[in-house]
Structure 1
């Protein structure tokens, strides 16, 4: 009975947008968060909501998180739950920065 339930639960967690961590929160897929943040930065550039300086700063922060993720994956024992939580915290900070910079209204009249 347990063996039959295992594959169904494995399928459910791999197709879900995130996995539930032991504290009850949801760890979103790292690649999905990267893609979403990249899209938000690009959209801010196109719309003029981000200045050149803001975009450079956000992209620098984004690339630093990508490099850290690559180092975490290469180091043994790989991407642990603690490392995933650290990346989630860093992505939360980046997402907050993107939201603040896109809505700070300092783009008036300035174009790239």
Structure 2
């Protein structure tokens, strides 16, 4: 019985690390995912024109920042990648909020 409990606890300790490993996405995949979510929100009517335009401007700003980072040193440093990931997290939260704020499409 003790062996089963110990094995269960050991397996449970690995779950957060596995979840974090699966959560990481390359920046290109995050960009494609965000674009898809914005497009889906427009088609479903959960994003109105103003919201979608604002989100796309923020998305393009992040894309330009990434290009600037890549030009400055021939690639992304760990700090630049961390900064971009944090900014994409914020934009992802904005997309989620805007899609759920019950402002319907008026176009």
Q: TM class, shorter-chain normalised?
A: 0.7 to 0.9
The yes-or-no answer on 1:60 pairing with 2:57 is yes
* Deviation, structure 1 residue 28: 2.0
Contact 1:27 1:88 in 2 (8 A): no
Q: What's the C-alpha RMSD, in Å, of the aligned pairs?
A: 1.8
Instruction: Give the whole-Å Cα distance in 2 for the aligned partners of 1:32 and 1:51.
Output: 25
Aligned residues: 88
Query: Could you say which residue in structure 2 is the equivalent of 1:30?
Result: 27
Query: Could you say which residue in structure 2 is the equivalent of 1:100?
Result: 97
The two structures have a TM-score, normalised by structure 1, of 0.73
The two structures have a TM-score, normalised by structure 2, of 0.76
Higher-RCO chain (CA-CA 8 Å, sequence separation at least 6): 2
* Deviation, structure 1 residue 78: 2.4
Unaligned 5+ runs, structure 2: 1-19
Flag the structure with higher helix content. 2
Larger radius of gyration: 2
One of 90, 107, 111 as aligned partner of 2:106 = 111
